[in-house]
A = this chain, B = another copy of it.
């Protein structure tokens, strides 16, 4: 197809169905004939999640290539499913809204990114809808099957250890680098860290394998119970949501903040670690024995604190000072 054409021109030329057939390698043949898609019945429970991505709020031309937007919308959805206990991704539906003058190459790039993510995570494009609108918007609904462990925000209990599946703040640093924020320009940042941060921002990779490993390492005799969430809104926002749902408080050890290697020192950098947002890691509350096994056997997991009885709140474990939540806002 002619990449210089607009989305409107391409739609007029080929029609919505033909376009979808051409750009979505992961749409099964025959699927597009019908408005609805069919999902094979099975006795496995299903998980479902919807996320919206709005131009200028969740992504921007400045920092995100179309292919990265496509990857991201799938990855962000999968992250929510993983943090609920995903077994296998079944597929996604995609609602695409674009101004008619949007370049066809933009749409193609977004679908390329979604295809790449589906290649990585499994699953197909089940269907969707498109319409013109004033702004570029993607609304993606992901469906997957549930594995052995159903993780709920409300399932943390006092005595649990708080662990996370990876370092935090990388995506925020990546964004700062892409936007050439002044603070970053002045500071010497390690080259490896820079690359890791850009990748974390542009192509986040929430991991189903880590969830599998978590299930594998559960000591016998302990029930299948875990409190948790992903950290897409930031580490502290994730912990806050768990505390609110589980009606308990969290104590965070300042010495154990989950920072990447070469992460600079300073309160600003600590804040990016705990409030940066869009980290897509698992934040879990587990019985001490299980948390211990995780940290021992799965290198990426870090212990960061514990859960206690009390009014929902988050404090530093040394001085019990409250930690301020600076939630990544979409509004």
- Kindly provide the distance from the CB of A292 to the nearest chain B CB, expressed in whole angstroms: 26
- Kindly provide the distance from the CB of A236 to the nearest chain B CB, expressed in whole angstroms: 16
A93: interface (CB < 8 Å): yes
Contact in complex: A41, B42 (CB < 8 Å) = yes
Which of B11, B43, B48 has a CB less than 8 Å from the CB of A41?
B43
A57 and chain B: residue at smallest CB distance? B131
Per the bound structure, the CA–CA distance linking A80 and B126 in Å amounts to 14
A34: interface (CB < 8 Å): yes
Contact in complex: A48, B43 (CB < 8 Å) = no
A288: interface (CB < 8 Å): no
Contact in complex: A93, B141 (CB < 8 Å) = yes
A233 and chain B: residue at smallest CB distance? B35
A216: interface (CB < 8 Å): no
Name the B residues within 8 Å of A34 (CB-CB): 84, 152-154, 229
- Segment from A132-140, A182-190, A265-273, A298-306 that makes contact with B: A132-140
A49: interface (CB < 8 Å): yes
Name the B residues within 8 Å of A97 (CB-CB): 52, 54, 137
Per the bound structure, the CA–CA distance linking A128 and B48 in Å amounts to 9
Per the bound structure, the CA–CA distance linking A154 and B146 in Å amounts to 32
- Kindly provide the distance from the CB of A133 to the nearest chain B CB, expressed in whole angstroms: 5
Name the B residues within 8 Å of A80 (CB-CB): 35-36
Number of copies: 2
Known: A8-B331, A49-B127, A134-B134. A42 touches B43 (CB 8 A): yes
Contact in complex: A33, B154 (CB < 8 Å) = yes
A230: interface (CB < 8 Å): yes
Contact in complex: B33, A245 (CB < 8 Å) = yes
- Centre residue among A11, A47, A137, A152 by max chain B CB count within 10 A: A137
Contact in complex: B33, A39 (CB < 8 Å) = no
Contact in complex: A135, B132 (CB < 8 Å) = no
Other 8 A-B pairs with CB < 8 A, given A36-B80, A50-B95: A11-B331, A34-B229, A39-B46, A49-B93, A52-B139, A57-B133, A93-B141, A134-B135
Ranked 4 nearest A-B pairs via Cβ: A139-B139, A50-B93, A35-B80, A39-B46
- Please give the residue numbers on chain A whose beta carbons come within 8 Å of chain B beta carbons, in ascending order: 8, 11, 16, 30, 33-52, 54, 57-58, 80-81, 83-84, 93-95, 97, 100, 126-135, 137, 139, 141, 143, 145-146, 150, 152-154, 229-230, 241, 245, 330-331
23 A-B pairs with CB atoms under 8 Å apart are A8-B331, A16-B331, A30-B154, A33-B154, A34-B153, A35-B49, A36-B47, A36-B84, A38-B45, A38-B46, A38-B47, A38-B150, A41-B41, A41-B42, A48-B143, A49-B127, A50-B93, A50-B94, A50-B139, A54-B97, A54-B132, A133-B135, A135-B135
